[in-house]
Chains A and B, each alone.
Chain A
Amino acid sequence: MTDLADLTIAAAGRGLRSGAFTAVDLLDAVERRAAVTEAHLHAYLTLDRAGARVAAEAADVALAAGDPRPLLGIPLALKDNMVTKGVETTASSQILAGWKPPYDGTAASRLRDAGAVIVGKTNLDEFAMGSSTENSAYGPTRNPWNTDRVPGGSSGGSAAAVAVGSALGAFGSDTGGSIRQPASLTGTVGAKPTYGLVSRYGLIAFASSLDQIGPIARTVPDAAALLEAVVGWDPMDATSYNGDMPSISKSLDRGVAGLRIGVVTELSGEGIDPEVLAATKQVIDRLSDAGADVVEISLPAIEYALSAYYLIAPAECSANLARFDGVRYGLRIDGATTEEMMAKTRAEGFGPEVTRRILLGTYALSAGYYDAFYGQAQRVRTLLRNDFASAYGRVDVLVSPTSPTTAFEVGAKTADPLTMYFADICTIATNLAGDPAISVPIGLDDAGLPIGFQIMAPALGEEVMFQVAAEVERLAAFTERPRLATSKVVTP
């Protein structure tokens, strides 16, 4: 018999509506799974048992009354940089230890309005800065496929929870690949929508011109359903998109016949693990067999994406994280003057990677350097957007591996900060362009670790992106689950 924690969101929704089980049953199954797996993974920072119970009971009442909302009663996890009213929110930083926000972010409140059950808050690299979830002040998250490996990051807790069944779906944030790369490393589906599609109100800001909230799920239709629940203009976020929302799940069954698919030359060779490349190539061949018109596309400016990103992101982070000063929330270390208090608080509260990026950004924005660093990086961003625009004149979507490697070992890249930055070479360009992209699992490497396939689309091109993603999912037929998810579940 299938454990309820292993159901897709779609299947769980059908089961709830048919009366096969209740939302409380579903929550119990997910919490039982967490009770077994958390000792190995540390995907969660906080489990909101009381709040989840109340939400599940309310969902059961609504279900009994025939309420049709698709996420009603579905247990979901939120990355701990998404603020939740009354539930501790730390962004994995000491500086916010114990903080209970007085409000819900827009994504959280839309999910509550959709009847979802928020199980808890997941671990991340501190303030979402990192690619392995090792930069958490509360300890790393492990990969459910092999606990000696990282789950990717920064949304590693959300990805690990979904992979192992301690949530049916989750949300993360993606600034340079922080949803897609952990999805790739954990065998889950992760989507970064077009910049502005999901409100950033209540997302603890890292780099405001790049940050986007998006879903992580076990299937492409599930990811689409999650995203549909949170998109839309929000008066609380002046950068949220105020035009018509693109369709997301309308074309999931349409296949790829007649679509033009571009393979990104610069992400198809050296620097990418051979097994990852081979798996990617196989899927591309199948897409071609399925009727897609596959061509190779060069994006010359992508060569500069990583360098531009590591000027823009630290610059914006240094401004955003100025708010953590020991005055209004979080940690305070006493000092003789306010300035001394602030400097001591920030030294104590921020971890090394966050400190490094604040310093880098402060330097890049300081007098005399602003235009040379930030201004120039923003112009390079325009060059990159021009490359993408010209590519999308010829093809409907672009494809590449999501991550240059499968999951690496815990501790392998922590000594030199630069080596960690390369983990995002395939994902960063779409953040700079503001475009949507999704990672879909396509197989395992020889070590039994998942490989992800990335599909990129032009801004507001979610419909065709999910259309191709759904076909990739069908063609790859990836049904493996991590061993931790299939181990005998102990009933407490």
Chain B
Amino acid sequence: MCQASRDQFSGWGRKQSRDGVSERTGGSIYPMPVDIDIERVAHLARIALTDDELALYGEQLAHILEHAERVQALPTEGVEPTSHPLPMVNAFRPDVVTESLSRDEALAGAPDTQDGYFRVPKILDES
């Protein structure tokens, strides 16, 4: 009776899910990722990972993404995406000056500051 949990379990844990989603995905218009270029992803995310970590996360991501085929297999032609559940379009507030953080308060939590600015290492590597 509990379709959701059974299919979710099977769809997540196996390459071939019991309900035949994999079969349906064959007709999907979307490219299924075969190999994830995990090094590129880690670079885009600006997270310096070791080779071992890259290998582990790469494997885990591929595993987790198997469930994406369930979502991709659903016919959604003409369905509008939902990004906000309430029918609100524009959110206006009065355009008036209000109190904000002082510069000192804004800088107080920073790891490094100089002359009232956030201080960072050199931006361009010119070596």
A and B form one complex: yes
Give residues in B with beta carbon < 8 Å to A: 1-9, 11-13, 30-31, 33, 36, 38, 41-49, 57, 60-61, 63-65, 67-68, 70-72, 74, 76, 79-86, 88, 91, 93-94, 101, 105-106, 108-112, 118, 120-125
| Contacting pair B44 A362 (CB below 8 A) | yes
Contact surface of A with B, Cβ cutoff 8 Å = 99-103, 194-196, 209, 235, 238-242, 265-272, 300, 302-308, 310-311, 318, 322, 325-332, 334-344, 346-347, 350, 355-356, 358-360, 362-364, 366, 368-369, 371-373, 375-383, 385, 404, 417-418, 421-422, 425, 432-435, 459
Name the A residues within 8 Å of B63 (CB-CB): 418
A383 lies within 8 A of B45 (CB): no
17 further A-B pairs in the complex, CB-CB below 8 A; given A242-B91, A459-B86: A209-B83, A269-B2, A303-B4, A303-B7, A306-B12, A307-B67, A307-B71, A335-B121, A336-B122, A338-B123, A341-B121, A350-B47, A355-B49, A356-B64, A363-B61, A369-B33, A382-B79
Q: Which of B7, B68, B84 has the most CB of A within 10 A?
A: B68
Q: Determine whether the beta carbon of B85 is less than 8 Å from that of A433.
A: yes
Decide: B105 and A302 in contact? CB cutoff 8 A: no
Q: Are the CB atoms of B124 and A337 closer together than 8 Å? A: yes
19 interchain pairs, CB-CB under 8 A? A195-B85, A235-B94, A241-B88, A268-B2, A269-B1, A300-B3, A307-B70, A325-B46, A328-B109, A330-B109, A335-B121, A336-B125, A338-B122, A346-B45, A376-B71, A379-B79, A379-B81, A380-B74, A382-B80
| Minimum C-beta distance from A209 to chain B (A) | 6
CB distance from B98 to the nearest CB of A (A): 9
CA distance A369 to B88 in the complex (A): 28
For residue A380, which residues in chain B have a CB less than 8 angstroms away from its CB?
Answer: 71, 74, 76
CA distance A421 to B70 in the complex (A): 16
Q: A209-B84, A311-B71 are in contact. Are A271 and B9 (CB under 8 A)?
A: yes
- Of B44, B61, B67, B72, which contacts A306 at CB under 8 A? B67
Check A435 against B120 for contact (C-beta < 8 Å): no
Q: Give which listed residue, B13, B48, B112, B124, contacts A332 with CB less than 8 A.
A: B112
A427 to B101 Cα, complex, angstroms: 38
B86 touches A195 (CB 8 A): yes
Which B residues touch A425, using CB under 8 A?
4-5, 8
Q: Are B48 and A343 in contact (CB under 8 A)?
A: yes
Q: Give Cα A239 to B84, complex, Å.
A: 8
A267:B76 contact, CB within 8 angstroms:
no
- Report how far A269 CA is from B9 CA in the complex, Å: 13
Q: What B residues does A329 contact at CB under 8 A?
A: 109-111
A52 to chain B, nearest CB (A): 23
Contact partners of A459 in chain B: CB under 8 A: 85-86
